[in-house]
Structure 1
Amino acid sequence: MDYLLTTLTKKQQVDSIIRDTIDKVLVLRFGQASDDVCLQLDDILYKSSREVSKFATVALVDIDSEDVQVYVKYFDITLIPSTVFFFNAHHMKMDYGTADHTKWIGTFHRKQDFIDVVEAIYRGAMKGKLIVSCPLPPDRIPKFQLLYKDV
């Protein structure tokens, strides 16, 4: 599925897409093409990409690439897939009712859930917000036990 969406393997590519995606939500999926859950998410992202294309751009970031490790560390990508959202080069956060508002961890239950999340981020961003509330019911938000290192 991964050949259908842009895959970024270099820091410069990630920098450019973040900088150059204007007035649209940028959806960056951090993960591996060999991971089953990433493939499930990629399928949802691909099937949704045309529907969200007027207000969002979707790209995949290969976390195995040595050149993107600065982003993997910066966003603390320890669980994959992790999806990070931007709007006009600003990192967009979403309150999922979890400790981490910086990224979506895991896949979406269905295509419409992804579309609803991206629409909520877009609407919030258009109002100047940097954090928005998740529009999904709690039972459709993946739950992960976050382990904090060195605490």
Structure 2
Amino acid sequence: MSSYLLTVLTKKQEVDAIIRDTIDKVLVLRFGRASDPVCLQLDDILSKSAREVSKFGSVALVDIDSNEIQVYVKYFDITFIPSTVFFFNAHHMKMDFGTADHTKWVGAFHKKQDFIDVVEAIYRGAMKGKLIVSCPLPPERIPKYQLLYKDV
């Protein structure tokens, strides 16, 4: 239901345009499916937080089942959903979550404030010229997952 409140992107051109056109704000792209229960939980948090972060962030949802989006799914190695990727002025922003993968947030946020804190930390770091920032959340509120390596 809350995914109706946020922009849903299904074409590569739409993703390219929003990455290119979002200036001086953190762009939050949630890769997932509208039918997945964890994605719905995350979408609820994102939609409730979108107004609070609107001064320094924008949120959009990317449908990973769209054929045109598969370029991004492969590029960001989206194997777990939902996965959330952050950009600032068309640069991919990374965050050290204490996991092996700094390129994306995997899973849902526990609380609305957790999401706001992460976006704010990325914004503050990006304004200082950093491309990777430390996660402001305590380790117990960061989802844990096991990385799977294909063809290794």
Q: Same fold (TM over 0.5)?
A: yes
1:76-115 alignment to 2 at 5 Å?
76-115=77-116
Quote how far apart the aligned CAs of 1:124 are: 0.2
* 1:62-91 Cα shifts (integer Å, max 9, x gaps): 000001100000000000000000000000
Amino acid at match of 1:60: L
Letter in 2 for 1:93: K
Q: State the partner residue of 2:67.
A: 66
CA distance in 2, matches of 1:142, 1:119: 19
Gaps of 5+ in 2: none
CA distance in 1, matches of 2:34, 2:94: 25
CA distance in 2, matches of 1:37, 1:113: 16
For residues 33 and 47 of structure 1, what CA distance do their matches in structure 2 show? 16
The alignment partner of 1:50 has SS state of coil
Aligned partner letter, 2:13: Q
Runs of 4+ in 1 over 6 A off after TM superposition: none
Aligned residues: percent identity? 86
Taking the TM superposition and a 5 Å limit, the aligned residue runs for 1:1-151 are 1-151=2-152
Shift of 1:149: 1.1
Paired residue type of 1:143: K
Deviation at 1:2, TM superposition (A): 1.1
Three-state SS of the structure 1 residue aligned to 2:118 is helix
RMSD of equivalent CA atoms: 0.4
- Which whole-Å deviations, capped at 9, do the CAs of 1:22-67 have from their partners, x for residues lacking one? 0000000000000000000000000000000000000000000001
- Structure 1 unaligned blocks of 5 or more: none
With normalisation by structure 1, the TM-score equals 0.99
Q: Displacement of 1:123 after TM fit? A: 0.1
- Whole-Å Cα distance in 2 between the matches of residues 70 and 3 of structure 1? 24
Give deviations 1:100-144, integer Å, cap 9, x for gaps.
000000000000000000000000000000000000000000000
Shift of 1:150: 1.6
Residue 37 of structure 1 aligns with an amino acid whose one-letter code is V
Question: How many residues matched?
Answer: 151
